[in-house]
Amino acid sequence: MRIRIRRKRQKIQKLFLFTSTVYLCFLLFAALGSSYLTPHNPTTQNLDQRFLPPLTGGRILGTDDLGRDVWSRIVYGTRSLLIIGTVSVAIALTGGLLMGILSGAVGGIVDSFIMLLMDGILSFPTVLLAITVVSVLGYGLVQVTVALGIVFIPVFARLVRAETKSRLTEGYVESSRALGTPFPLILLRHVLPNMMPDLIAQSTVTFALVVVIEASLSFLGLGTQPPEPSWGLMLKESRNFLYQAPWMAIFPGIALAATVFSFNYLGDYLSEQLNPQR
Amino acid sequence: MKPMKFIFTVVLFSLLVPTLAFARGAKEQQPVRIALSGNPDTLDPQKTAGTLTFQVIKSLYDTLIEPDPKGNLVPALAERWEFRDEGKQILFYLRKGVTFHDGTPLTSKDVASTLRRIQDKNTGSPQAAEYSLIKGIETPDPLTVVLNLSSPSAPLLATLASGWSAILPAHLIEAGHDFGSKPVGTGPFKFKSWIRDNQILLEKNPSYWMPGKPRVQGVEFRIITERSIQVQGLLSGQLDVIDMYDAIDLPLLQKNPQVKVEKVLTSLVMVLAMNTSRPPLTDLRVRQAINFAIHKQEVLDVAYGGGIPVGTFMDASDPFYVDFTSLYPYNPEKAKQLLREAGVGTDQPLEMVLPQNYEPHVRAGQIYQEMLQRVGLSVKIRLVDWSTWISDVYRKANYDLTVIGHTGKLDPDSRLSNYGTDKTYVRWIHPEAASLITRARQTTHVEERKALYSRVLEIMAKEVPFVFVGTSYRYIGTRKSIEGFRIQPKLDAYDFRDVEVR
């Protein structure tokens, strides 16, 4: 009985995993080859074709309040989404690695200072902090990307610091040190590779968070500037037409939810699989 | 079983009928409930510039003269008035038997103290400048007020008919009364209570000077910021009146037989403003091309919930309005040709700055961008928050194109003053227009003013520092049982004096 349940669970897990991976591959494809997926330009307005419901007039997902194709806007929206996600995770990862290793390896007053700074950043609600950074840097795609990168540095920094500290006390590191291996090499050979699984998992989960916050910022009008397509902006624009054209909100909403779910699921799975201790 | 059922039904009905009767009786005693889109900053008429305040205080205070629904000035607290000394003196004869809510009778002293209070620097009225040309106020008898002016001014009458000029009782002014939270006036309703961010309650003033008015027991302003909640409130009968600036929810409201919707013109002029001090917009041909490229009716319908195109800087319902819409009809071919002549193409991108908190303007901006792209202009959109828009665009003119609506006031001067000089955000300089506007301000003769203003409007229509898009509609949704609700569009004030519950 138990085995059966376990098998069933594994089956569902595999199905989820498969779907998530396929969906994310599809996103990547949509971003790289947007024009293959849709014949319509995402910013072209057709004021005589406003509020077309899905599956009418050759529009799979209908049109919005300015007669723009909803499907095209979702497809093209993946570009800014993936760019913002990748770049800001890269910023957060790099920044976090530097801070974390410095903090963990040097210790002492440097450690205290960096961690104080990181805790300071962490104590702000993420969205609020992102809004503050964007207000200082100005509205737009680049600013939002940098803002989100900065906001997530502490998460990585804390993770890296903890890993560095614990690895440095392990037997194999100490013996390597006793053999006279230079310290930087120890970090590169023994410490870094061992924290890779955690970093990959954390990156994936952070990616999902970045996607949500980018959408929130665009919803507030701080992120992607109109008429460029962005899911958050689409949701913002749909808010006034919920009764009249619910599809304007439903489809970008589904796309966003599915993306976040897939990244989170994949992140959890990776952290389970890659971590040998669990 | 049958008789039992019969008796049961009878008992049930006899219980129900009085309840119904009671419910009807209760309904007539209920105040009229209207949605207010935000909390007013104060109820002191002199200390605000906020629309929300004026929407409420029209029911609490009166002015010497007031606009009728068409915008003509008619007697209110003053029965009649006359100009003397070539327009440098105005006499007001007050109505007899008017009392304030606290029972004291209205006299010329109240009028004098009110006007002195708004001129006083300590009051800090944002509108004080409009009253600065009143040099002396005399009160020869309790029902006559004489204003001595430094120069003749036609817009002053309109100023005295606006909400800022609401008459306050002199004895409370002297006592330093807080009109902001405990208003006392001569208006059709008395102030009862104000729960901040929730509701303002007014009750009928039984001794109002208009016989037989008001007809309802009171007014309840419910403060509801979200439009969709206002709409739901009206549909479910929680609200009697709502005031909407766009037509998005119209289909929903029209489906409900308990609700009616009235379409009225606003006093707004929706514009696409051009910074005429920045090339290539310094070139008249480019501004003309932009005018030819915009399909005005389409923008009004899609972005602003419908409206009437105007060809100049005056709203379509104003008595001073002149129709110049035939000058720049929608003609993209003409636009392309003019741009070719001017040698302007996509290599000179224009920046369109949009106030991101006004969704209709953001929507309109995207439509303009597309229409301009079709004639070969490249436009980049930048969203800014409202305070940035005011400081960067409106004050410093740091933009190429922007989208906004200009509200109207009772007198055309308030809309047109400063145009033609470098003090406006379009930086359009035209000495002739500027001097015509100044002359029109100092003329009290109506026909003469009309001639001067129509010349100004013609110059603006031809020189196009803006694309004058049009005057939009607003929609008043009321329950079927409510009759007689009015909005004075130029003052943006709600008038409940004629409201009846059927």
pLDDT of residue A278: 45
DSSP letters, A141-159, are HHHHHHHHHHHTHHHHHHH
pLDDT of residue B24: 44
pLDDT of residue B407: 82
Is A4 a residue whose pLDDT tops 80?
Answer: no
Which residue of B248, B255, B304 to mutate against A (max A Cβ within 10 Å)? Answer: B248
Q: Per residue in A12-62, pLDDT tens?
A: 888 999 999 999 999 999 999 888 888 888 988 888 888 889 988 888 899
Provide the shortest C-alpha distance from residue A276 to chain B (in Å). 49
Is B445 a residue whose pLDDT tops 70?
Answer: yes
Contact B247, B306 (CB under 8 A): yes
Contact B368, B272 (CB under 8 A): yes
Q: Which of A127-131, A200-204, B203-207 has the lowest mean pLDDT?
A: A127-131
Q: Which of A217-231, B15-29, B257-271 has the lowest mean pLDDT?
A: B15-29
Task: Return the C-alpha torsion angle B111, B113, B119, B120, nearest 10.
Answer: -170
User: B383 and A225: CB-CB below 8 Å?
Assistant: yes
Is B26 a residue whose pLDDT tops 60?
Answer: no
Residue with the larger pLDDT of the pair B478 and A173: B478
Query: Which residue from A50, A66, A242 is facing B366, i.e. has the nearest CB?
Result: A66
Taking residues B473-482, what's their average pLDDT?
93
Contacts of B365 in chain A (CB under 8 A): 226
Give the whole-angstrom CA distance, residue B359 versus residue B246. Answer: 11
Confidence of residue B20 (pLDDT cuts 50, 70, 90): very low
Is A246 a residue whose pLDDT tops 50?
Answer: yes
Q: In the 8-state DSSP scheme, what is residue A48?
A: G
Q: Which residues, listed in sequence order, are joined to residue B242 by a DSSP beta bridge?
A: B477
Q: Per residue in B163-193, pLDDT tens?
A: 899 999 999 999 999 999 999 999 999 999 9
Give me B249's structure tokens.
């929810």
pLDDT of residue B11: 52
Confidence of residue A276 (pLDDT cuts 50, 70, 90): low
Q: How many CA atoms lie within 13 A of B325 on its CB side?
A: 16
Confidence of residue A196 (pLDDT cuts 50, 70, 90): confident
Taking residues A243-262, what's their average pLDDT?
91
Taking residues B65-81, what's their average pLDDT?
90
**A162: buried, middle or exposed (CB in 10 Å: 19+, 13-18, 0-12)?**
middle
Provide the shortest C-alpha distance from residue B479 to chain A (in Å). 21
Query: Which residue from B248, B367, B385 is facing A244, i.e. has the nearest CB?
Result: B248
Provide the shortest C-alpha distance from residue B306 to chain A (in Å). 14
pLDDT of residue A73: 93
ipTM of the shown complex: 0.77
